[in-house]
Structure 1
Amino acid sequence: MEISFRGKHALVTGAGKGIGRATVLALARCGARVTAVSRTQADLTSLVQECPSVVPVCLDLADWAATESALKNLEPVDLLVNNAAYASLQPFLEVTPDQFDQSFNVNVKAVLHVSQIVARGMKARGSGGSIVNVSSQASSCALRDHAVYCSTKGALDMLTKVMALELGPHQIRVNSVNPTVVMTKMGRLGWSDPEKARSMTARIPLGRFAEVEDVVHSILFLLSDKSNMTNGVMLPVDGGFLAC
């Protein structure tokens, strides 16, 4: 199944590393013009070296005013991937206000804001569009030390559904992908202990974690016209974890 985004402009947040970076490169390979947002300039510099057609935007999405200023004058966006996320794991009884606020500011509030900016343009042009939010299996399954992270992803899933409901009449589709542990550089580091890894893979019928490309392929499908009647869906990329 060939997917082409020629003539489309895509915006990807959290584009410096991992899933976001791989999504940027995949979209560019499929012909899209891509604007990549990251708060780390060094990551953007190396991304542009790897793919010179990418337009970099260095931005802390937790800053509402800076986000508005940086994104409001972009060329029209057809495809949006809200991938930026923040995770700070704490036992429930040790959750601090600053970690709570930072997590919700990036994982929920920034998604709402960036999507508002993009969707307003899509609505004004009357051309429709597609938005994919990168959520997690943690939105549906409690994980130890993940009280705040699980809560942000649960909120993100419901935000996705409301966006799909309200934006659908404007032919703007909104969906999420909900991966299990993904073998990014950070994922490999965090799950390098074989005993810890087995405790999770034992609950995944396929018996393994997701690779970055597994998630990217799902994102591309949901962005593309191959999923024209898919709206308001939380797509697990979890090897069956949530089926058990």
Structure 2
Amino acid sequence: MIISVGHNLAKYFIKNKKYKNVIMGVIIAATVILAMLMGSINSLVSNWESNRLLTIIIKAGRQLFAPYLVYLTGMLLKRVSINTFIQNRRGVCCIISFIMLVFMSKIGRIDLSMGIITNIFFFMLASILGWLFVMSIGYSIVGENVLSKGLEYMGKQTMCIIALHLISFKLVSVFYLLITNSDFMLLASFPVLDKTNRILWVFYSLVGVFLPLLLDMFYRKCKKRYGMKKV
């Protein structure tokens, strides 16, 4: 969301400029160069993690420039219009993208919250394959079935989920720490507990989605029942 807002703000401020296309081209070129630089910094500066300031700059750079480059790639793919191709070959696209993502998980790692992207090409390929996988599944389940309607409802409540999912994660963390009698200092871990039970991500996923939806439904019912009537 931040990437999208930043991109559109940049377009807004340069829309009346004489050389707006040149300026936008420079921004894109700088993004590509900086994303590649941040992604390959390990081969350039081997001990960069020993410098706290440099670590913050590099990790923040990866969190900004790598996703922005993927965002620009997505805009380019939107112009190409490959949706029909994916829809007609959704089974093949789903299987191939899934196999490649599993293989890539064995040779590299992506953790954007920690500024880990392996390298920019790995990050971009994983992002595109993930998008392809989700799109192919989406085309496979589209229709008038319960699953399709459920996912459509979740999509309409995206802002609610975005606003409340982090709080929901913390509730899962609190229950886990209480059950395991662990140190509550671990609650400071963001956004979720690190290096804990491997199955915990299932609870984070379920609670992170469905608790905001339940709270939103409760809010709407209360608003409908106790809300002020129009004068």
TM-score by length of structure 2 reads 0.30
Q: Normalised by the size of structure 1, how large is the TM-score?
A: 0.29
Q: Which one has the bigger helix percentage?
A: 2
Q: Which has the larger radius of gyration?
A: 2
Structure (1 or 2) with the greater strand fraction: 1
Which structure ranks higher in relative contact order (CA pairs < 8 Å, sequence separation ≥ 6)? 1
